[in-house]
Structure 1
Amino acid sequence: MRYKRTLILLAMTVACCIGIFVMTGRQKNMSNIVLQNDIAETVRENMNDLAILEEKFPDTDILVFDTEGFCIYPGGENLTLTKSRNNGDLCLAVTDGGRFLATAAIPDPFFSEYHKAFEQLAWAAVILFLIMVTAAVSFYLYISRNILKPFCRMKEFAGRIAMGDLDSPLEMERSNLFGAFTESFDIMREELRASKARETELKRKEKELVAELSHDLKTPITGINTICDVLSLKVQDKYVLGKVEGIQKKTQQMELLVTDLITAALDDLGEMTVNCTDENVAVLYDIIRAADTRSLVRRSTIPECMIHIDIKRIEQVIGNIIGNSYKYANTSIDIECAFSGDYLKLSITDYGKGVPADELDLIMNKFYRGKNVKDSDIDGSGLGLYIASALMAKMNGELICSSKGKGLTVTLMILLS
Structure 2
Amino acid sequence: MTIRRRLILSYVAMVLIPLFLILIIGMILTRVFFGGEAGDGNKEGIFPMHGAAFSQVWETINQREQVMNGVKFIAEHDPGLLADNEFLTETDKTLQGLQAGLVVVKNGEVLFASSGVNREGLEDDLSKVGTGGERRHSGWIKEPKVNGRYNAERVDFVFAGQSPGSLYLLSDLNPVFNKMSQFMPTLFLSLLIVIAFTNLLLTFFVSRSIIRPLYTLKHAAERIKEGELDQPLELKRRDEFGEVGEAFEEMRERLKASIRLQLQYEENRKELISNISHDLKTPITGIKACVEGLRDGIADTEEKRDKYIAMIGQKTADMDRLIEELFLFSKLDLKRLPFHFEPVDLHRYLEEWAEELKTDPRYKDVHIDFRSKLAGPLPVLADRDKLKRVLMNIGGNSLQYMNKPEKDLRIELDARPREAIIRIADNGAGIAGEALPHVFERFYRAESARSSTTGGSGLGLAIVRQIVEEHGGNVRADSAVGEGTAISFTLPRRGNLPMGGEQE
TM-score normalised to structure 2 length: 0.39
TM-score normalised to structure 1 length: 0.46
Structure of higher CA gyration radius: 2
Instruction: Kindly indicate which of the two structures has a greater share of residues assigned to helix.
Output: 1
